[in-house]
A and B are shown apart, each in its own frame.
Chain A
Amino acid sequence: MMIRRMPWWLAGILMALLVLFTFSTFGANRPFGASTYVPYFAGILFDLSPEKYPYLKEVHFAGAWEGVMLLGALTGGFLTSVFVTKSFRLSIMPTGWKKYKNSSVISRLVWSFVSGFFLIIGARLAGGCTSGHFLSGMAQTAVSSMIFGGVVLLSVIITGKIFYKSEANDV
């Protein structure tokens, strides 16, 4: 029988190895990151000229690198969800949202759009996200990443307390 879930410790060990491989001279010789591809793709989709928008010049290489990496992540996620975890299916409403927020699809989609928008603004302001700051940054003992880590941890938990109900709805 196939085991359908990887334990957290195995995932942690494998993730550490992946980060180390990405850093290594025989791997990619750079940190692992995952939010720079978003403005890069926005530049492509809206056909913005890097000559006019200096930020696109700044992210020219990192954005492309993470763009290719992202295609790999989509492929890996798709194959695993279809063949290993068997969790692939089209869905709009997370179980947890129904349980701790509400059962309105419109509410979930509006909040998804708005939080997706600000997620990227926040990540770009800070110069990194969970991958770039938490994983890669803290592994380098970077002070910037520890500040980011502390602020994010606090803001995640406060939001969780305010935004969601403490008691579950019956699903």
Chain B
Amino acid sequence: MMFDRILNMFTTVSNESHGSLFVVFAIGLVFGVIIQYSRVDKFEKIAGFAMLRDTVVPKMLFLAIGLAAVGLYFMVEAGYASYHPKPIILGGLIIGGTIFGVSMAILGKCPGTGPVSIAEGRIDVLVGAIGGIFGGLVFTVYFDFFKKIMGESLGKTTLITYFQGHENLVVLIFGIVLIAVSIVIPLRQEFDEVDLKQLEEI
């Protein structure tokens, strides 16, 4: 039964036109390499940012978002991509975001960096992931209750829709500001023992 459902995961992905199985797997593979190679899967990077002792994560995130925002806008204009913004659900965003932030600072991982960390042998993160599976279970079973907290959708608004006629200027400014922020944030680094040993070898 479980085996059938795992197989079903692969057939579901192959049957939809959101990349072949190989492409989706490769996207994950590249993601894992970038995260591992830049070491942002480390507790010291995310919890370190919470303590303001490490700024690699925000520097990298702001740069990535700034570049992607400009690139995506022009890809959408050229017909090579489309926007899929998430709805504004105030209860969900504010309550969920608060719970998410507290948990991220304590676990020192997010749902994307956690698995990469497990792949390098972090047992504490594996325990966190098991906790996460139970979180997913509770959310699924009590979805009716959580839906009430999330509230009504106020629409899938994007910033550029507020600036009709000046969309490309606005997205360009947005991108440049984020890139500038990523450069201006002072570089602070917090290392763990393993990384320090590796640093000595360079």
Contacts and interface: CB of A to CB of B under 8 A. Distances in A.
Interface of A: 1, 3-16, 18-32, 34-35, 37-48, 53-56, 60-61, 63-65, 67-81, 84-97, 100, 108-109, 111-148, 150-161, 163-164, 166, 171
B25 A69 contact: yes
A80 B60 CA distance: 19
Contacts of A97: 43, 47, 108, 124
9 contacts: A5-B199, A44-B9, A72-B30, A84-B36, A91-B123, A114-B106, A144-B157, A148-B97, A155-B97
Contact of B193 (A74, A90, A95, A111): A95
B105 A163 contact: yes
Contacts of B192: 94-96
Contacts of A124: 96, 135-136, 139, 146
Interface in B77-136: 79-125, 127-136
Contacts of B28: 68-76
Contact of A147 (B30, B35, B94, B99): B94
Contact of B97 (A35, A118, A126): A126
10 closest Cβ contacts across the A-B interface?
Answer: A72-B28, A76-B32, A160-B50, A155-B101, A125-B96, A116-B131, A122-B100, A12-B63, A116-B128, A126-B96
B100 A123 contact: yes
Contacts of A55: 139-140, 143
